[in-house]
């Protein structure tokens, strides 16, 4: 793509930013490269090119572009911030943190510099150090939704989930369509074992921003799997009680049948809540994910256990060893199912 002679560097950056806002990073890169043909030593163009390449995932090229920009204007904070982000993406976390710190020192009143430094500290596993940095970012820009969302992530990492959720909710208040904040609220709910609430929030986040669909599907899948694990625990309890009661009785024990029937009701209710928590069109993508084969195993396991419990509760003669064997299989498969996800 070649820009016309009337398109200068500023216009090229404006056009490229329009493309980046639309997530058309490839076209943004083409616009910036074309502009650099006319002015190859424009540090601003190089910085924006590095940003476009970073969003594209071409971090090696982004590193070169950002390094060239920093060399041209070594005192400017913005190229340092982009360079720091690129280095972090390349796994060079210590260098990235060093450049992010330099960016903060170069522009201490710019909240974006503090925000990026805090984000890289979290990525490096130092949420405690990130907390005061993120606090400063919010002090400088109290109405910035991203700043509150990052603070929520930091507090969640530190185990302060109630405060974390409050920060994400503040981000949503400031920017009602903030899919990232809603996604992070869902993560907090999942970590607090509010699995149905988490699934609903994950689903809404994907509706708000389809571009985070893969991340949302992965998190929904993990949450559903956790929910099915708890459902399996309920089945274990019902089967174990049935086995204990049946083992002490001659013939088919009424007490064992009652426990089995109660277990069936609990499982049906739990599965019903699960199904209703997620729109029907979300199930197919979840079940297609190869890295979560255990989901299908749990579903099949639940059907088998429900069938055995149901048959026993209805008075169908079920041998004691069939009950015991089903219980044993349930336990073993549930413990080992997640290993299939690593294949």
- The domain ranges of the chain are 1-107, 232-342
Nearest CA-CA partner of 153 in 113, 175, 186, 107:
186
- Tokens 């603070």 belong to residue: 151
157 and 122 Cβ atoms separated by less than 8 Å: yes
Q: Confidence class of residue 248 from pLDDT cuts 50, 70 and 90? A: low
> Cα–Cα distance between 134 and 131 in angstroms, integer?
5
Query: CA geometry: angle at 321 spanning 320 and 324, to 5°?
Result: 90
* pLDDT tens-digit series, residues 9-54: 788 999 999 999 888 999 999 999 999 998 999 999 999 999 999 9
Per cent of the chain over pLDDT 90 is: 47
* pLDDT tens-digit series, residues 219-234: 776 776 666 666 666 6
> Cα–Cα distance between 327 and 312 in angstroms, integer?
13
CATH number of 1-107: 1.25.40.10
State mean pLDDT over 108-116: 96
pTM: 0.70
User: What are the CA-CA distances from residue 310 to residues 7, 261, 315 (Å)?
Assistant: 73, 6, 9
SS3 content of the chain, % helix, strand, coil (to 5): 80, 0, 20
**Residue 305 has what DSSP assignment?**
H
């Amino acid at each position: 793509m070649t820009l016309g002679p009337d398109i200068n560097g500023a216009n090229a950056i404006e056009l490229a930013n329009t493309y980046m806002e639309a997530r058309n990073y490839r076209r943004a890169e083409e616009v910036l490269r074309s502009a650099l043909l006319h002015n190859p030593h424009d540090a601003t163009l190089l910085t924006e090119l590095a940003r476009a390449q970073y969003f594209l995932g071409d971090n090696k090229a982004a590193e070169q572009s950002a390094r060239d920009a920093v060399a041209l204007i070594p005192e400017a904070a913005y190229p340092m911030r982009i360079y720091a982000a690129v280095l972090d993406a390349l796994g060079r976390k210590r260098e990235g943190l060093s450049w992010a710190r330099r960016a903060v020192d170069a522009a201490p009143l710019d909240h974006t510099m503090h925000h990026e430094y805090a984000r890289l500290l979290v990525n490096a596993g130092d949420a405690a150090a990130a907390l005061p940095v993120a606090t400063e970012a919010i002090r400088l820009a109290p109405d910035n939704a991203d700043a509150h969302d990052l603070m929520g992530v930091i507090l969640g990492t530190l185990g302060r989930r109630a405060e974390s959720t409050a920060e994400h909710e503040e981000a949503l208040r400031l920017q009602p369509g903030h899919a990232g904040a809603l996604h992070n609220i869902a993560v907090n709910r999942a970590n607090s074992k509010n699995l149905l609430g988490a699934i609903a929030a994950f689903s809404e986040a994907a509706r708000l921003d389809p571009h985070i669909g893969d991340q949302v599907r992965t998190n929904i899948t993990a949450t559903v799997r956790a929910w099915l694990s708890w459902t399996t625990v309920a089945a274990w309890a019902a089967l174990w009680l049935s086995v204990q009661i049946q083992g002490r009785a001659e013939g088919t024990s009424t007490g064992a049948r009652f426990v089995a029937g109660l277990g069936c009701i609990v499982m049906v209710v739990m599965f019903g809540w699960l199904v209703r928590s997620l729109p029907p069109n979300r199930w197919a993508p979840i079940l297609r994910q190869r890295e979560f084969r255990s989901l299908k195993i749990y579903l099949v396991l639940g059907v088998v256990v429900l069938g055995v419990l149901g048959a026993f509760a209805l008075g169908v003669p079920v041998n004691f060893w069939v009950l015991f064997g089903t219980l044993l299989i349930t336990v073993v498969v549930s413990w080992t199912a997640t290993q299939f996800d690593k294949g």
